[in-house]
Amino acid sequence: MARQLAAAAKTKSGHPLSAENCTECGDEIPQKRREHVPGCQYCTGCQALNEKGRL
């Protein structure tokens, strides 16, 4: 998640769009996660797997 937050902070718009559905599994990304992690593309489960190098 730290890498995702850092990448989001580097965007020019300052308010990157988050995906509504996980780009890996297709599950809906909760609104609170989209608000707290601008630009998120994964649900929390897939994000955890991504950070462990399993995606």
* Tens of pLDDT, residues 6-55: 666 655 455 678 999 999 999 999 999 999 999 999 999 999 999 998 87
**Distance, CA of 5 to CA of 36 (rounded, Å):** 9
- Quote the pTM value: 0.67
**Distance, CA of 7 to CA of 53 (rounded, Å):** 18
Extract long-range pairs of 42-49: CB within 8 Å, 24+ residues apart: 42/4, 46/22, 47/1, 47/4, 49/24
- The pLDDT score that the predictor gives to residue 15 is 63
- The pLDDT score that the predictor gives to residue 17 is 87
**Distance, CA of 47 to CA of 18 (rounded, Å):** 13
